[in-house]
Chains A and B, each alone.
Chain A
Amino acid sequence: MAEVQKDAPIKSVQVEALVVMKIVKHCSTSFPTVATGSIVGMDNNGAIEVTNSFQFPSVDVSSSDSHSDASSLAAAAPRAKANIVYQNEMIRHLKEVNVDANNVGWYTSATMGNFINMSFIENQYHYQKENEKTVALVHDVSRSSQGALSLRAFKLSPEFMTAYKEAKFTTESLRNSKLTYKDIFVELPVNVHNSHLLTSFLHQIPAPPKSAEIPMPASLDDIRRDPVQIPAHPGFESLDLSIDPFLEKTCDLLLDSIESHYTDLNNHQYYQRQLTREQFKITQWQAKRKAENAARLAAKQSPLPEDEWQRLFKLPQEPSRLEGMLNARQVDQYARQVDAFTANITAKMFAVRGNLLPE
């Protein structure tokens, strides 16, 4: 039974409410710097139960260092040597107090879904190569601040893992493995789990009265006619239609992505030009060598080797396509995000219109 469980792939992630709170707290305090931490828990029949988390120690960045350095340092924290030691120490201590002491991955903060980059891939690869059953939790601070909590779990797809292991992202290898930007990550559903005790406590939290003092009813009729107003929950905020800031931000990010895509494109074009030039040279050389050999043959001399070009010419290294793939994935991510968000807004709009339409 246990054997079977071990081999079952991860299907979902279950996060304790406490962990969620801790992650949200950590991420929002360190915003806009990226925050990272480790999560512990256990694998329960294909579902990872995350029961605790701790943050990686923030490195004190000296004042001379710029802000971006702090961000990149934090982003690179999970695979930093010092932090691995710290994490192992921490897990040992946790074991001593009888908490689940299995590392099941790490978490990071993000802004508007801009988490897909090399650093993220490296971190996740670092965990996943050791233990197949690890996930990356991404908490999007900006989106959470809009109302709904945004917590997502990702892991790298097995195909990508093999490709990354070989570090081969040439056009040819990509074509053979049929790896596209869609196949980089596998997203897992996230459930937030509360303990029964907590659930019952939540149910018992009394709703606060609307005003501090409720006027005493003068008579029984009064109570019947005008019952005590219980405040509407969760308020009108959910009807907020302010879509512009979100879209603006996304637009900006999209433009950035397009920029980087162009950079990538230019690199690749440069490579291609270089390649054709080299190839032209090689064919020239070969033709020359062939003519030479023909001449030597006529003069009854032994022909010169014709495969020397491999030694003489060096084809330029094809730039890795990984960046481009990640970029595409990122754009995809943005697009989905906008899609999801506008779907929500559109629904609200329709609701409003339906109300306004004359019957």
Chain B
Amino acid sequence: MSRFFRGGDDSSTDSSSEEEEVYTSEEEEEKVQAEDESSSEEESDEEESDEESSSDEEEGTKKKGASRFLQSDDESEEEEEEQSDDEATTKVKSAKDKRFDELESTISQIQNGQKINDWSLIANEFDKLNRQVVKLQDGSKAPKSYIKAIADLEDFMNETLAKQKVTPKKMNATNARGLNAVKQRIRKNNKEYQTQIDAYRKDADAFMESDDEVAAPKVVSKVRFEAPVVSAEQQEEDDKGFSTVDSRGKVVQYTPESILKHLRAIIESRGKKNTDRLEQIKVMETLNKVVPITPYQKIRVLQTLISARFDLGAGGAAQMPLDQWKAAERDLASLLEILEKEKDHVVVEGAEEWDDDDKLPTIPEGEKYLKVPGSVVSLIERLDDELTRSLQAIDPHTSEYIDRLTDEGSLYNTIFRGLLYYEHLRKDASLEVPQESLNRIIQRRLDHVYYKPAQVVKILEENAWKQVSAEADSEITPRSQSGDAGKLINILSNYLFENSEGIIRARAMLCQIYFLALHDEYYKSRDLMLTSHLQETIANFDIATQILYNRTLVQVGLCAFRKGLVYDAQNTLQEICGSGRQKELLAQGVMIQRYSQVTPEQERLEKQRQLPFHMHINLELLECVYLTCSMLLEIPLLAQTGSSPDVKKRIISKTYRRMLEYHERQIFTGPPENTRDHVMQASKALAAGEWKKATDFIHSIKIWDLMPNTEGIKTMLAKQIQEEGLRTYLFTYAPFYDTLAIATLSSMFELDSRKVSAVVSKMISHEELAAALDQVTETVIFRKGVELSRLQSLALTLSDKASSLIETNERTLEQKTQGSANAFSRKDNRGGGQRGGGQRGGRGGARTGGNPQRQAGGTQFTGGALGNAVRG
């Protein structure tokens, strides 16, 4: 189970010199096993190791790769040497004996080197020694003299290192280099022979004399051929033959009495350099297994254990390892279980630390509870965050992701139990559990359900309720209500809304809106969105909330689209989709910023913010909906403004216009390939009045299948296209008709004649169409010559410009006269025609002091004579 960390640890120990001393032989021994396991399991567990190595970022994998190469290198070298040896042999000696002699001589060389402290010599000889010993090994057993040599060497090296630390005198460069080389190699090397070294160290003479060389390596070989999955129990079994030993080789005994002392030692070393977290976790696991008698101890051990596990993931961007997460989740569950069972122990924030070194704390007299400092909600939050982080890192298109996602269920259960626990705590006012903790845990729960369909929420809830005992019930979310997801969300968000403020409140609202929109409650969600007034204040919130806001907005837009409310949908989506930065705004991917420099720090933050894949809103679907809505609105608008080019052009969606222009510039248009092509070709067809073709194009978009009720959407779209097609046709061809029978239109667009007259009437009443409806003959009669002439439109533009010029002049004058509006008495001057250039020469006009009452005169200005003329 620890093999993967070993990779990471290895690298750290290799690179840092000080860590050598803190290594315990016990742990190293385990490492040997672990390594062996890993080698035997490598193939069967490839998936898992992949995952882990990816979690360790590249560092781990690189290391692995490098060591692999090293190994093969060694092998080839060794072969070479073998050949040369064979050639050189002249004495008649068994090959084995000869090699033993060589080995002995090398060892004596090393010993000489030790005597004179010549590390470069030792380094060379040590290399040689290692090469020689490979050939001499039978099975996994190395010669005893070799073991002795390397054990001594290691001791000597440690000694030297220690000495070097105290003495200020420096070694010379070559020596130091040699020392470093040996140090690194020894560490790698000795791991392989750890068991033997241990045996040697325990009793040097006995080891050297003992003939049977079976006992020690047995463990290794046993593990080596073990079944691929080694569970914790098996591990324990393996450990049985050995007693736990601390770094100095002393046997460590864990007893219930000493447990808290150990714990304290661990807590104190937490966060310090050179502490091996994995080792601590292991110690604590043992502690947890062996001892806890009192609930207090149990709680303390579990708390520390969980935090220690979280510490593993704390460094850098790497997320927590999977098994650690699972273990943490398990521990958290058991912690909650204990807390539920032992009602007189409570974990509260801000409780005083107990002085528990000597005696176990007991419940103080006159109080009901034994308060243990700590925060369950923080642990739960951390667990949740870690899951999100690991989901962010996993490729969402693998089965691994789905596997990981199943953990969400158990997480949800934990959250739920945490909630129950806090509710329980809240019942007792004397504990003064802050409202905030409860809010936080409810927020977490809400975060886990708001984006899910009702059925999924229901299953989650059922599982959660199954976990807790039958009589347990929640006050906030009673068992009876939990079946209905909508009600649950409502209750949760209402609770948060009533009992919290600021961001949590906003988030609660947004979650509720999101859920409503997801479940096709458009009007409810829209009304909630509008009454929340979040659109005005959202810029002041933190980025995560802004992302949630964007997501909610998009979801409301999609909901409107499903309801067939094209205009609303387009309006709602405009803000997000019109920007062209959907990915960023919805936190579903990082945009590559071409022109701006992003610091790695920013990039990391950005990456952290990303939502895990299962929460994503399909961007292609989003784009498709947005473009379709834009098409339905823009094409009639284009047809309307097309006839009068000088009218100020209204543009609904710039993005869409740009795409359309681009599409029109293409000389050859092939059959549509992607969503965008489909919509663009449909737009073209619609603009030409070929509504059937447009419908075909739109219907052939595959992404609609992702929408619930695909057929319904398609019929809705077809209807919309028919209507907009009719409007487009009328806009485009109205100038060529005097009258037009409704029957013709209705056959042309296959619409009900009532519908046609409804559309026409609407257009007439909105003054989009200069026509009248003759109900007797069922015809549309067009009026002629009502549109603005070019001169008229030019005159309008001119008057606009002129009035803005006058305003500018007014402002300038206001500035120059410093608000003393009397300098420019309008009443007398009205007829005088104050042309723009009139004041050019100078400031003109008498300045008769500031009149405070008329200070705000500028705002009342109507533009003078010219202004009146223009406006009138």
Contacts and interface: CB of A to CB of B under 8 A. Distances in A.
Contacts of A331: 837
Interface in B838-864: 840-842
B801 A181 contact: no
Contacts of B840: 174, 180-181, 321, 324-325, 328
Interface in A238-285: 244, 247-248, 251-252, 254-255, 258, 261, 265
Contacts of A251: 791, 794-795, 797-798
A178 interface: yes
B798 A255 contact: yes
B463 interface: no
Interface string B422-447: 00000000000000000000000000
Interface string A20-52: 000000000000000000000000000000000
A196 B790 CA distance: 48
Contacts of A178: 841-842
Interface string B641-683: 0000000000000000000000000000000000000000000
A273 to B, nearest CB: 13
Interface in B791-837: 791, 794-795, 797-798, 801-802, 805, 808, 836-837
A248 B801 CA distance: 16
B145 interface: no
A248 B795 CA distance: 8
B375 interface: no
A179 interface: yes
A258 B790 contact: no
Given A261-B805, A328-B836, A328-B837, A252 B794 contact: yes
B505 to A, nearest CB: 44
Nearest to A254: B798
Given A258-B801, A261-B805, A248 B841 contact: no
A244 B802 CA distance: 20
Interface in B302-357: none
Interface residues of B, number: 16
B841 A175 contact: yes
A180 B801 contact: no
Interface residues of A, number: 22
Contacts of B808: 265
A80 B791 CA distance: 40
A175 B842 CA distance: 5
B789 interface: yes
A175 B791 CA distance: 38
A241 B836 CA distance: 31
Taking chain A's interface residues, is the majority helix, strand, or loop, or is none over half, making it mixed? helix
A258 B809 CA distance: 13
A244 B791 contact: yes
A255 B794 contact: yes
B837 A248 contact: no
A174 B794 contact: no
Contacts of A181: 837, 840
A332 B801 CA distance: 16
A174 B841 contact: yes
Nearest to A258: B801
A183 to B, nearest CB: 10
Nearest to A180: B841
Nearest to A175: B842
A258 B794 contact: no
A331 B805 CA distance: 13
A227 B842 CA distance: 69
Contacts of B837: 180-181, 328, 331-332
Residue with the greatest number of chain A CB neighbours at <10 A, chosen from B789, B794, B797? B794
A242 to B, nearest CB: 11
A110 B789 CA distance: 27
Contacts of A328: 836-837, 840
Contacts of A265: 808
Nearest to B841: A180
Interface in B756-807: 789-791, 794-795, 797-798, 801-802, 805
11 contacts: A174-B840, A180-B837, A180-B840, A244-B791, A251-B791, A255-B801, A258-B801, A324-B840, A328-B837, A331-B837, A332-B837
The 5 closest A-B pairs by CB, nearest first: A328-B837, A251-B794, A175-B842, A258-B801, A180-B841
